[in-house]
Amino acid sequence: MWSLLEQGNQRWAAGRSHRPRQDPRHRRQVAVAQEPRAVVLSCIDSRVPPEVIFDVGLGDLLVVRTAAHTIDPLVTAAVQYGPQDLSASLVVVLGHQRCGSVTSAARALRGRVTLPGELPAVVAALEPAYAVSDGRVEPMAHAHVRRTVLRLRADPLLHGSATVIGAYYSLDTGLVSRVT
Ligand SMILES: [Zn+2]
């Protein structure tokens, strides 16, 4: 499945998207049942819509999005639906370039500032990645992808039922690369 996503991403980056399975006929087909092949856990960023950047269509992906793909029990549960209920055994954790959530968390941690509302939960989730990257945004985003992958791989329900991989989207090129 990863190779299909990779090929779709290359079409997108080259400006040759097929926009597959987005027509009314396919909409009617998947209305009765879905068989998504992968789960993508990604950031809320408006420039990184998974179905668009992987050039896939209706019924292809389960998409879970939070600020900087931070996870908690509800988010992990959403990811678990893929392999548990829908035989989507690939989980892609997708970080991206110039992530606003990572940038703002790095700034808050550096300045020891408490953000308003529920935002400190995001900052706390990003603190381990901040600690290993000297607060530099791109290394921090990569570290956060790796950490999220390891946490999901250690999940008792996902362990053995899903392959969890990390990836990173470049806003500049439109290309997704693997994070190992
Ligand atoms: Zn982001």
Tens of pLDDT, residue by residue over 113-137, are: 999 999 999 999 999 999 999 989 9
- Torsion angle, CA of 147/150/156/158, rounded to 10 degrees? 100
Share the mean pLDDT of the chain: 97
pLDDT in tens, 76-86: 999 999 998 88
HSE of 5 in the Cβ direction (CA atoms, 13 Å)?
25
Q: How far is the CA of 155 from the centre of ligand 1 (A)?
A: 23
Look at strands 163-169 and 61-65 and give their pairing. Answer: unpaired
pLDDT in tens, 9-42: 999 999 999 999 999 999 999 999 999 999 999 9
Q: How far is the CA of 152 from the centre of ligand 1 (A)?
A: 19
Name the residue range of residue 22's domain.
2-179
pTM given for the model: 0.96
Q: How far is the CA of 25 from the centre of ligand 1 (A)?
A: 34
Percent of the chain at pLDDT > 90 equals: 96
Place of tokens 């190779």: 3
CATH assignment at residue 159? 3.40.1050.10
Say how many domains are in the chain: 1
Q: How confident is the model at residue 87 (pLDDT cuts 50, 70, 90)?
A: confident
Q: How far is the CA of 9 from the centre of ligand 1 (A)?
A: 18
Q: How far is the CA of 32 from the centre of ligand 1 (A)?
A: 33
Q: How far is the CA of 48 from the centre of ligand 1 (A)?
A: 8
* pLDDT at residue 86, as a whole number: 87
Q: How far is the CA of 31 from the centre of ligand 1 (A)?
A: 31
Say yes or no to pLDDT of 107 above 90. Answer: yes
* pLDDT at residue 85, as a whole number: 86
Report whether 108 contacts 115 (CB < 8 A). Answer: yes
Q: How far is the CA of 29 from the centre of ligand 1 (A)?
A: 33
Say yes or no to pLDDT of 4 above 90. Answer: yes
78-87 long-range CB contacts below 8 Å, 24 or more apart?
79/39, 79/41, 79/152, 79/158, 80/155, 80/157, 80/158, 81/39, 82/36, 82/38, 82/39, 82/162, 83/39, 83/157, 83/158, 83/161, 83/162, 84/157, 84/161, 86/34, 86/35, 86/36, 86/62, 87/35
Average pLDDT in the 6-10 region?
98
Q: How far is the CA of 42 from the centre of ligand 1 (A)?
A: 8
Count of other CB atoms within 10 angstroms of residue 169: 25
Average pLDDT in the 150-173 region?
96
Q: How far is the CA of 58 from the centre of ligand 1 (A)?
A: 23
**Amino acid letter, residue 34:** Q
Residue 102, judged by CB atoms within 10 A of its CB (0-12, 13-18, 19+), counts as buried
Average pLDDT in the 51-72 region?
98
Q: How far is the CA of 150 from the centre of ligand 1 (A)?
A: 19
Report whether 90 contacts 2 (CB < 8 A). Answer: yes
